[in-house]
Structure 1
Amino acid sequence: MRLTLILAITLYFLPHVNAKKVEKNIGIQLWSVRDDMKADAEGTIMKLGEIGYSFVEAAGYGDGKFYGMEPLAFKKLLNDNGLQFTASHCGQALPDEANWEKVMQWWDQCIDAHAEAGVQYIVQPFMDKKGYGSLEDLKRYCDYFNVIGEKCNAKGIRFGYHNHDKEFEEVDGIIRYDYMLQNTDPEKVMFQLDLYWIMVGEKDALSYFKKYPKRFELWHVKDEKELGESGKMDFEPIFKKASKSGMKEIIVEVERYNYEPLKSVEKSLEFLMNARYVK
């Protein structure tokens, strides 16, 4: 009887003892470790894989290459270290009529390189001063983004725009970010919402999810420094509305640090891994 009871208790607890840790699909924006990437790209990628990130968002595209590597070579480096090449930050400012064709040629090469590498998302993370000027110029930016989005669609890539805080300022009584959401085609342009910068811009992510559902396919999960460091970011209610927002991927970005950058991104990943609301 005693042996049976011991066996029963052992069998009850065994699955819990041997349960595999639940993995989460979380990406890292490589701008977070930009100096490390310049100094030792291969070693940095190896470390990010060891830390436990699932994929990367690049910030080092130029002349058909990523961090000086051909598309397939960079993809192989990532894959060899357990990482996927999911997204990439790059772009060009709004061209005028005189250099329109030159900029379109740049985009064609850019999109081809990303398609070769298997990238799913290209995100432009900036506008020049025209984007923060008149509504007429902002409308030109929206039209331009629609054109680039159509080009990306043709190669099986989603195009999007990444915000900072200035997009939440008003021009002629209209919030720039709202204007962009209203004047870009959802079939051609998605938005990568930076959860920290919308807070700095004194706007509420949840209200945007309600007003513009399914437009925010990528999130930048960010704090002032490491995730959870400032006490200002309440991520839980935002994550609870992930489906409403249309979120498909979350990407950590750290731009200021209490530690060395690789340690900071490791601590930020640990924060999300330990957060029950992050699935």
Structure 2
Amino acid sequence: MGIKVGLQGYTVREYMRFDPLGALRKTAGIGYRYIELPNYDASGSAYYGLSAEEWKKEADAANISIIGGYVTNLTEENLEKTCTFFQKLGCSRLVIPIDYFPSRKILDEKCRFYNKAGNLCQKYGLSLYYENHYHEFQQMDGQTIMSLLLSQTDPELFHLSLNTYWLMRGLVDPYAFFRKYPDRIGSIVQEDYPLDQIDKFNMWNFKNHHPIAENIQYDKLLQGNEIQNIHPVQCELFTEIGEGILKLQPIIDLAAEIGNVSYVLLKQDFTRRPTEFESIEISLKNYRKIRGVDC
């Protein structure tokens, strides 16, 4: 058995907004057997207006496993309610899809919360994951934010879902990172980058192409809205797995060698294809050409 291929549902979020269960069925019909749901707001009470029982019933009928989901606005007050919801779904993981660390004080406070959240997740049979972007590799007190995050969190309670696309766009070598932190990476998130946009690949120079990205600078800690602000001008900077310039096979080979990675999750922020489902079908066909994966 290889590393299981799944879909991060953010990839089909536009369809999911108006027909969430239909999106689940379509994803299963294309051939995906594992999905991570997007956009669970912990301050709310349901997922796209649907209960955990409704999601679970539909997933079972479609023969697709909901392995976890993105969780936003997670706090100590809503943490237990959130764990209960995901336990009812039959999930194994909660994923914090992004966070910001504008000061050392805030980073330290968040690390304490991550440890507490990870401990409670374990009691519900869940693992807490964090998905990186590029800003976690900015410098703080002579170290990267990522190194501080990992040094101040318990390896048993706080895991990485490593987004290799954003890692490389932040000019971080994914192979070196894998070898430095082999025990912290439990899953991989993969996106691909189109060759015709290669001049925009370096996120630290992205401001040269779009004035809206002026605040994205390597030596200026992100404050919390910079990534969302530039989202509309990044539509052309993604392509289907295997259609772009990022080499996937070496990453899968290394992940298999390390042995801790359970899933590789396709995530694509935008597509140039007519529909999101045409896009994820192309990516799945290309995943089937990769050695060491189970799809």
Task: Say whether the fold is shared (TM-score over 0.5).
Answer: yes
Select which of 147, 160, 168 maps to 1:178: 147
Match of 1:235 in 2: 248
Q: Secondary structure at the match of 1:143?
A: helix
**1:170–1:24 distance in 2 versus 1, CA, 3 Å:** closer
Aligned twin of 1:49 = 28
Q: Which residue of structure 1 lines up, in the alignment, with residue 222 of structure 2?
A: none
Structure 1 residue aligned with 2:267: 253
Aligned pairs for 1:1-279 (under 5 A) are: 25-62=4-41, 63-92=44-73, 103-128=75-100, 131=101, 133-223=102-192, 224-231=238-245, 233-243=246-256, 244=258, 246-259=260-273, 260-279=275-294
Output the amino acid matched with 1:39.
F
Calculate percent identity across the aligned residue pairs.
26
- Give, in angstroms, the shift of residue 229 of structure 1: 2.4
Rounded to whole Å, the distance in 1 between the matches of 2:23 and 2:106 is 40
What whole-Å deviation, never above 9, does each CA across 1:79-118 have from its counterpart, x for those lacking one?
Answer: 211100101100336xxxxxxxxx3221111111111111
Contact persistence 2:39–2:72 (CA under 8 A): no
CA contact (8 A) 1:24 1:273 kept: no
CA-CA distance at 1:193 after TM superposition: 0.3
Q: Radius of gyration: which is bigger?
A: 1
Q: By how many angstroms is 1:163 displaced?
A: 0.6
Contact 2:66 / 2:91 at 8 angstroms: preserved in 1?
A: yes
Q: CA deviation at 1:136?
A: 2.9
Letter in 2 for 1:38: R
- The Cα of 1:78 is off from its aligned counterpart by 1.3
Q: Which 5+ residue runs of structure 1 have no aligned equivalent?
A: 1-21, 94-102
- 1: distance between equivalents of 2:293 and 2:173? 19
Cα offset, 1:38, TM superposition: 1.2
Quick one: distance in 2 between partners of 1:88 and 1:118? 11
- Give the SS at the match of 2:24: helix
CA offset at residue 245 of structure 1? Answer: 6.1
Tell me the TM-score normalized by structure 1.
0.83
Distance 1:248 1:151 in 2: 21
Deviations, residues 43-63 of structure 1 (Å, cap 9, x unaligned): 221111111001110113243
- Between the aligned partners of 1:165 and 1:118, the Cα distance in structure 2 is 31
Larger deviation, residues 238-247 vs 201-210: 238-247
Code of the aligned partner of 1:256: F
Aligned-partner Cα distance in 1 for 2:2–2:27: 15
Q: TM-score, normalised by structure 2?
A: 0.78
Q: Deviations over 1:153-174 (max 9, x none)?
A: 1111000111111111112321
TM superposition shift of 1:25:
3.2
* Alpha-carbon distance change, 277 to 24 in structure 1, aligned in 2, over 3 angstroms: closer
Residues 226 and 258 in structure 1, CA contact (< 8 A), matched pair in contact too: no
Q: Number of matched residues?
A: 245
Question: Gaps spanning 5+ residues in structure 2: where?
Answer: 193-237
Q: How many angstroms apart in 2 are the aligned matches of 1:64 and 1:92?
A: 12
Q: Does the residue aligned with 1:217 lie in a helix, a strand or coil?
A: strand
- For residues 77 and 236 of structure 1, what CA distance do their matches in structure 2 show? 33
Structure with larger RCO (C-alpha < 8 A, sep 6+): 2
CA positional deviation for 1:256: 1.6
The residue that corresponds to 1:15 in the other structure is none
Letter paired with 2:180: K
C-alpha deviation, 1:234, in angstroms: 1.2
